[in-house]
């Protein structure tokens, strides 16, 4: 944040009104932060598309009673130990587990890991929340 520059953007009044309404609903109190976040979001999309180092969260919900499921998920995670930063296991109720796995690495590797976990029989829900390492986003 050492080099702050100002620039002028020309938009239709309707578009600006909709933008202001949207960002207010999202909790922004100024346009600069909202515009910067849109730019960062586009840059992170590009990092994923170009195969740069990225970070992400993998979210899984499964029934731990499903035979062998826990050990299969653990075995898959060991295959990608280089990419996994940490994981958190939450016992949602008597049957269901929520697992949140923080990962870092190349997008293809992260997507492959996610695909293997999500595709394991007995996993009820999976989501991949793409994120970034933070590099190049200042």
Q: Which CB atom, from 91 or from 121, has the smaller least distance to Ni ion?
A: 91
For residue 84, the minimal CB distance to Ni ion (Å) is 18
- Beta strands, E only, the chain: 54-63, 84-91, 96-105, 123-131
Query: How far, in Å, CA of 54 to CA of 118, rounded?
Result: 20
Interface contacts to Ni ion, rule CB under 5 A: 64, 91, 97
For residue 76, the minimal CB distance to Ni ion (Å) is 17
**Angle, CA 129 vertex, CA 126 and CA 134 arms, to 5°:** 155
For residue 90, the minimal CB distance to Ni ion (Å) is 7
Q: Which CB atom, from 91 or from 124, has the smaller least distance to Ni ion?
A: 91
Query: How far, in Å, CA of 109 to CA of 83, rounded?
Result: 8
Q: Which CB atom, from 73 or from 110, has the smaller least distance to Ni ion?
A: 73
């Amino acid at each position: 944040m050492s080099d702050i520059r100002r620039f002028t953007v020309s938009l239709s009044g309707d578009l600006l009104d909709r933008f202001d309404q949207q960002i207010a609903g999202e909790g922004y109190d100024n346009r600069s932060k909202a515009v910067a976040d849109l730019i960062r979001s586009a840059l992170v999309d590009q990092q994923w598309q170009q195969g740069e180092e990225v970070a992400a969260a993998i979210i899984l919900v499964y029934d731990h009673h499903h035979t062998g499921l826990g050990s299969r998920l653990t075995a898959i995670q060991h295959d990608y130990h280089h990419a996994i930063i940490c994981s958190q296991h939450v016992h949602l109720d008597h049957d269901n587990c929520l697992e949140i796995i923080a990962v870092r690495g190349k997008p293809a590797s992260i997507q492959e890991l996610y695909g293997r976990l999500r595709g394991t029989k007995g996993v009820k829900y999976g989501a991949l929340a793409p994120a970034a390492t933070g590099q190049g986003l200042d």
